Amino acid sequence: MSNLNKRHAPGLQRRSLMGTGLATLIAAGLIASPLYSVAAIAEELQAQRVLAIGGAVTEIVYALGEQHRLVGRDSTSTYPPEANALPNVGYIRALSPEGVLSVKPDLILARENNGPHEAVEVLKSTGVRWVDVPDDFTLEGIDENITIIAAELGVPDKGEALKKKVAADIAKARAHLASIERKHKVMFVMALTDGKVNAAGTNTAASNIIELAGGDNVITAFSGYKQISNEAVINAAPEVIVMMNGRGVSADHDAPNALLEAHPALSSTPAVKAGKIIRMDGMLLLGFGPRTGEAITKLAEALYGHEH
Q: Which residues of 152-171 are buried (b: 16+ CB within 10 A; e: fewer)?
A: bbbbeebbebbbeebeebbe
Over residues 13-38, mean pLDDT: 46
Q: Is the pLDDT of residue 144 over 70?
A: yes
Amino acid 255: pLDDT: 58
Amino acid 46: pLDDT: 76
CB neighbour list of residue 82: distance below 8 Å, 6 or more residues apart: 67
Amino acid 177: pLDDT: 83
**Average pLDDT in the chain:** 87
Instruction: Report yes or no: 77 and 45 within 8 Å, Cβ to Cβ.
Output: no
- The neighbouring-strand residues paired with 202 are 223
- Selection from 13-17, 21-25, 141-145 with the highest mean pLDDT: 141-145
- Going by pLDDT thresholds of 50, 70 and 90, the confidence category of residue 260 is very high
CATH 2.60.120.260 fits 47-173, yes or no: no
- Going by pLDDT thresholds of 50, 70 and 90, the confidence category of residue 176 is confident
- Selection from 172-176, 178-182, 276-280 with the highest mean pLDDT: 276-280
Over residues 205-212, mean pLDDT: 98
Q: Is the pLDDT of residue 15 over 50?
A: no
Chain segment 55-109, per-residue pLDDT in tens: 999 999 999 999 999 999 999 999 999 999 999 999 999 999 999 999 999 999 9
- Going by pLDDT thresholds of 50, 70 and 90, the confidence category of residue 178 is confident
Superfamily of domain 180-307: Nitrogenase molybdenum iron protein domain (3.40.50.1980)
Amino acid 193: pLDDT: 87
Distance CA(224)–CA(79), nearest Å, equals: 25
SS3 call for 190: strand
First-to-last alpha carbon distance for the chain, in angstroms, is 43
Over residues 176-204, mean pLDDT: 93
- Going by pLDDT thresholds of 50, 70 and 90, the confidence category of residue 166 is very high
- Going by pLDDT thresholds of 50, 70 and 90, the confidence category of residue 44 is low
